[in-house]
């Protein structure tokens, strides 16, 4: 489910991820993250991390972007950008990788920094053995 992505789309994703990062709520870790996802309708949906004093209630930027897009009616995603640092490249956590896989196992990741430098990577490279829907099929035992 990969589609060609243009350099212009990559630059827009990066710009929106950087802008989303500015809105991040990270008072405990100081680890501000921004993300933006490109959907099938060519729209870009941003997201940022939101922390909570009870860390398990926090949510990552990547999942926020995907959920934002889904709430707005998008269901197919082609690329997702993530940014957090001036020079380093962030990689999504395991939970985010699994959620991304639910929508597109071949999602293109744009790992970028605040200098607008980036690396492209397929989600399948970062999540080689995901949980699959087929693993959780219900089986019925027939009565004799």
Residue 128 contacts by C-beta under 8 Å, 6 or more apart in sequence?
none
Q: Is residue 121 part of a domain?
A: yes
Which residue segment(s) compose the domain that 98 sits in? Answer: 7-127
Which residues are marked as active site?
62
- CA nearest neighbour of 23 among 58, 59, 50, 56: 50
CATH number of the structural domain spanning residue 102: 3.40.140.10
C-alpha–C-alpha distance, residues 116 and 35, integer Å: 13
How confident is the model at residue 129, as a pLDDT? Answer: 81
Which pTM does this prediction carry?
Answer: 0.88
Q: Is residue 1 part of a domain?
A: no
Q: Is residue 139 part of a domain?
A: no
Q: What is the pLDDT along the chain (144 residues), one digit of tens a residue?
A: 567 899 999 999 999 999 999 999 999 999 999 999 999 989 999 999 999 999 999 999 999 999 999 999 999 999 999 999 999 998 999 999 999 999 999 999 999 999 999 999 999 999 988 888 776 666 677 776
């Amino acid at each position: 489910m990969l589609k060609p992505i243009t350099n212009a789309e990559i630059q827009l994703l990066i710009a929106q991820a950087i802008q989303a990062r500015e809105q991040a709520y990270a008072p405990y870790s100081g680890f501000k993250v921004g993300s933006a996802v490109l959907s099938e309708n060519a729209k870009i949906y941003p997201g940022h991390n939101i922390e909570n004093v009870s860390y398990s209630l926090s949510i990552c930027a990547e999942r926020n972007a995907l959920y934002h897009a889904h709430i707005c009616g998008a269901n197919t995603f082609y690329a997702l950008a993530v940014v957090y640092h001036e020079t380093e490249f962030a990689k999504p956590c395991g939970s985010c990788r699994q959620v991304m896989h639910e929508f597109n196992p071949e999602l293109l990741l744009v790992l970028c920094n605040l200098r607008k430098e980036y690396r492209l990577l397929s989600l399948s490279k970062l999540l080689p053995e995901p949980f699959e829907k087929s693993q959780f099929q219900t089986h019925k035992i027939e009565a004799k």
